[in-house]
C-alpha cells in the first residue's frame, strides 16, 4: 500500500512539473523574413503598342521607399530606353547593379558580388540583360532565371525580378498590348 501511495505522489509530482514547464515556455519562431514587394503597372504617363520606337520618358524609382521618385531626387533605379526596358542604376549616389543567371525565388541572402561601374549602370537585352525581344512579333519577354541585384549607396542589398512591360502583365503578351507599364518584384536581402 505504501508503494502505491509513493507511485501516485511521484506521478502527480511529475505531471505538475511537466505542466508547469510547458506553460512557461514560449513557442519558438524563426525571425520574420522581409516580404517581397510587387510593383504593378508602373507607368510614365505614356504608352505605345506595336514595335517599340524612340526613347521612353524615364521612370525613376526608389526601392528603399517603394515609390516613384524625381530625377533630381533619391532614386535607386531608372527605367528608360525603348518601352522603358533599359534599367539604369543611380551611380551618382553609389547604387550599383548586376544581373545573374539565378532563379529569384532561390535567393534569400545577399550574394558575394563585386559591383563596379564597368558592369553596372544599364541593363537591357544584351547577354547580361533581363529580356528578349522577338523581331517578328515585337514582343518583349523577361528571361526566366535572371535576377537583378542592387547595392545601394547606404549599403542595402536588393534583388529584382522583372515580370512584364505590358499593362496588366498578360501571361502571353502581343504587340497590341500597351507597353511602358512595368511590373516587377523586389525584396531586400540580408
Are the C-beta atoms of 124 and 163 separated by less than 8 Å?
no
Angle at 148 between CA 88 and CA 36, to 5 degrees: 110
Rounded to two decimals, the pTM is 0.79
* Whole-number pLDDT of residue 58: 95
| C-alpha to C-alpha distance for 101 and 107, rounded to whole angstroms | 12
pLDDT band at 18 (very low <50, low <70, confident <90, very high): low
| Beta pairing class for 86-89 and 77-80 | antiparallel
Over range 100-112, report the average pLDDT.
Answer: 90
Across 45-54, 79-88, 109-118, least confident range: 109-118
- CA dihedral sign of residues 113, 114, 119, 123: positive
For residue 86, give the nearest of 20, 9, 140, 31 by alpha carbon: 140
* Whole-number pLDDT of residue 171: 95
pLDDT tens figures, 129-167: 888 888 899 999 999 999 999 999 899 999 999 999 999
Mean pLDDT of the chain, nearest integer:
83
Which residue is listed with cell 505522489? 9
pLDDT band at 91 (very low <50, low <70, confident <90, very high): confident
| C-alpha to C-alpha distance for 164 and 150, rounded to whole angstroms | 19
Amino acid at each position: 500500500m505504501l508503494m502505491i501511495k509513493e507511485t501516485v505522489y511521484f506521478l502527480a509530482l511529475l505531471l505538475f512539473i511537466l505542466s508547469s514547464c510547458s506553460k512557461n515556455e514560449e513557442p519558438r519562431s524563426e525571425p520574420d523574413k522581409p516580404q517581397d514587394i510587387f510593383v504593378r503597372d508602373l507607368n510614365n504617363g505614356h504608352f505605345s503598342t506595336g514595335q517599340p520606337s524612340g526613347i521612353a520618358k524615364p521612370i525613376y524609382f526608389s526601392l528603399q521607399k517603394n515609390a516613384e521618385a524625381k530625377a533630381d531626387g533619391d532614386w535607386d533605379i531608372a527605367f528608360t530606353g525603348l518601352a522603358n526596358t533599359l534599367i539604369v542604376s543611380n551611380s551618382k549616389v553609389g547604387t550599383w547593379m548586376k544581373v545573374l543567371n539565378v532563379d529569384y525565388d532561390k535567393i534569400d541572402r545577399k550574394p558575394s558580388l563585386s559591383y563596379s561601374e564597368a558592369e553596372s549602370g544599364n541593363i537591357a537585352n544584351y547577354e547580361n540583360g533581363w529580356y528578349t525581344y522577338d523581331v517578328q512579333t515585337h514582343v518583349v519577354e523577361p528571361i526566366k532565371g535572371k535576377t537583378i541585384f542592387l547595392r545601394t549607396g547606404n549599403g542595402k542589398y536588393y534583388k529584382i525580378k522583372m515580370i512584364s512591360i505590358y499593362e496588366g502583365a498578360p501571361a502571353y503578351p502581343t504587340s497590341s498590348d500597351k507597353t511602358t507599364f512595368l511590373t516587377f518584384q523586389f525584396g531586400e536581402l540580408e
